[in-house]
Each structure stands twice: as C-alpha cells, then as structure tokens.
C-alpha cells in the first residue's frame, strides 16, 4: 500500500512545528514503510523544521513553511520549502567530532544526522526566493 502525496503547510513557529509533526506521524502511520524509515523520516523532519523555525526567519518574514511528502517504490521523499534566509544544507560539512566531553561543542549534529539518514539530498534557491531542500530516505 502506498500513501497519497501530501503537503503540510504551517507557520514557522514552535506551535506550527508541533502540529505539522503530528500530521507527519499520521501520514507515516498510513504508509507501509518499515520502522527504521519511519524513525528516520521523523528525525529528518524534526532536524530540518526546527532549524527553519529557529534560524530561517531570524531576519523577519512570515511566509509559511510547506513540506511535501511523497512515497515512492523504495523510498520516501520530503521536500522542505520555506521563505526564510537562503540556506543550503548540502553545502555544510560534518562537524569535527570531539574526543572528550571537555572539548565537546553542542551544535551541528542535526544536519549530520540528516545526511546519515538520507540516500539523496538536493537544494535549490528558487526564483521566488524560497529554499527548496529535498531529502530522500530509503523505505526499508
């Protein structure tokens, strides 16, 4: 059984995130993907959307965030579309991991987890001035 594509549209706020996160989980429950894909889809959504909410609109703006959910034969693709500051997550490298707790910095781990979960990532800044970031997750 394959899920119908769905678009979640919500304000770039804490409350918007929580509502959309619940909608995502409902969509995933209706899909036939395995436990790991379900977990990774939630992980990617959480990391990307909390980044957008926290940093994307620091310079102002109130355009909604849209997340397109699509289920393919062996994968789930989520496309995050926001009107915030230009930000290309594919252009970041993984942080250097600390070897001791004293030197551990707190940050940069979210995108690293996204990269580990994804089989494919792509980013474009559209002519309309929006970020479009697509993440494909194997549906194992």
**By the criterion CB under 8 A, which residues form the site for another protein?**
17-18, 21, 35-36, 39, 42-43, 46-47, 50, 97-102, 104, 106-107, 109-110, 112-113, 116
Of 99 and 127, the one with the shorter C-beta distance to another protein is 99
Q: How far is the CB of 39 from another protein (least distance, A)?
A: 5
Q: What is the DSSP string of 120-137?
A: EEEEEE-TTS-EEEEEEE
Of 46 and 63, the one with the shorter C-beta distance to another protein is 46
Rounded-to-10 torsion of CA 103, 107, 109, 115: -130
Q: How far is the CB of 50 from another protein (least distance, A)?
A: 5
Q: What is the DSSP string of 70-89?
A: EE-SSEEEEEEEE-SS---G
């Amino acid at each position: 059984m394959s899920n119908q594509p769905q678009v979640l549209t919500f304000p770039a706020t804490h409350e918007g995130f929580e509502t959309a996160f619940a909608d995502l989980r409902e969509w995933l429950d209706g899909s036939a993907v395995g436990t790991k894909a379900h977990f990774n889809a939630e992980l990617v959504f959480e990391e990307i959307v909390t980044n957008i909410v926290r940093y994307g609109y620091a310079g102002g703006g109130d355009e909604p965030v849209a997340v397109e959910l699509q289920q393919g034969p062996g994968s789930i693709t989520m496309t995050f579309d926001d009107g915030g500051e230009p930000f290309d997550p594919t252009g970041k490298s993984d942080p250097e991991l600390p070897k001791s707790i004293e030197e551990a910095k707190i940050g940069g781990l979210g995108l690293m987890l996204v990269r580990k979960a994804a089989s494919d990532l792509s980013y474009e800044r559209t002519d309309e001035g929006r970020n479009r970031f697509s993440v494909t997750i194997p549906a194992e």
